[in-house]
Amino acid sequence: MSVTAAQVKELRERTGAGMMECKKALVETDGDMDAAIENLRKSGLAKADKKSDRVAAEGTIVHASENGHSVMVEVNCETDFVAKDHNFVEFAQAVAANALHADDIDALVESTLPSGDRVEDARQQLVAKIGENVQVRRMAHLRVEGAHMGCYIHGGRIGVMVAIRGGDEELARDLAMHVAALNPAYVNEDEVPADFLAKEKEILIAQAADSGKPAEIVEKMVEGRLKKRLAEITLTGQPFVKDGDVTVEQLLKSREAEVMAFSRLEVGEGIEKAEEDFAAEVMQQVKGS
């Protein structure tokens, strides 16, 4: 029989299984939705309680590199416990290796692992095995010709890659550690967007205007505060995390090095987590009884 796109969509939403698996299951059961769900469950590709709509804000950042090409991938799960499970960790590591040859997440989840499974199929099988939602969320590539590459993963939760010209790999790794700790938004002042600068200046002028000082003094106050703000948000302006007496810019000059680019990923960044208020939950039960 002919299976409609609407049927495939409904089955995907109800099971979290892949599009091709859903279509195949519907064809095999002549469009019987309940029978298709049962078949997917038997094959381990779906569970009665769909996992794919659960919040997956825990997980790990995994790194892989090859011939001067560095990549990080964020793979999410629901709990910190599963993030340490060897099945989850092995899956994340295999995905990171594949990411070296994928341009984006869509290509990554469709790529084939050494086991012969697509990443998406392996993800679904892992969901069925561990009973939690698992998502391959995002990845970052870094490749700069002739650069030293440094990578630092902090506890599996924060990952940083840094590319520098000059210096050495040890310096690149130290800078990656610095970025992990202090989270600068930009490499240097030249990278700061003009609209951001204009907005910051506008805010600082408004703050300084209340001081009652003459205009020329206000202008100097604004300049000083803006300079301080730029130092806070740029890598080169920050005090070096391993030696607070020098800025990163001073460190780089002493080593005749330059930061070309960096990338930082943190597990769960930007994902809204449900806040559990047990006191409120108990009170709700009391009122309802």
Rounded-to-integer distance, Cα 11 and Cα 266, Å = 33
Instruction: Check if 5-42 and 52-143 are the same fold.
Output: no
Q: Between 73 and 277, whose confidence is greater?
A: 73
Confidence of residue 129 (pLDDT cuts 50, 70, 90): confident
Q: How far is CA 41 from CA 31, 71, 82, 110, 186, in A?
A: 16, 34, 21, 22, 47
Are the beta carbons of 145 and 163 closer than 8 angstroms? no
Rounded-to-integer distance, Cα 166 and Cα 224, Å = 31
Question: Would you state the pLDDT for residue 289?
Answer: 45
- Domain ranges in the chain are 5-42, 52-143
Q: Above 80 in pLDDT, residue 44?
A: no
Class of domain 5-42: mainly alpha
- 244, burial (CB in 10 Å: exposed 0-12, middle 13-18, buried 19+): exposed
Mean pLDDT of 92-109: 96
pTM above 0.85, yes or no: no
Q: Between 131 and 75, whose confidence is greater?
A: 75
Question: Would you state the pLDDT for residue 72?
Answer: 98
For residue 7, give the 3-state DSSP assignment: helix
pLDDT digits (tens, 9 = 90+) for 219-253: 888 899 999 999 999 999 999 999 999 999 999 99
- Give me the DSSP letters along 92-120: HHHHHHHHTT-SSHHHHHHSBPTTS-BHH
Are the beta carbons of 62 and 273 closer than 8 angstroms? no
Residue 248 is encoded by which pair of tokens?
A: 């990163």
Confidence of residue 56 (pLDDT cuts 50, 70, 90): confident
Q: Above 60 in pLDDT, residue 46?
A: no
CATH superfamily of 52-143: Elongation factor Ts, dimerisation domain (3.30.479.20)
Are the beta carbons of 71 and 153 closer than 8 angstroms? no
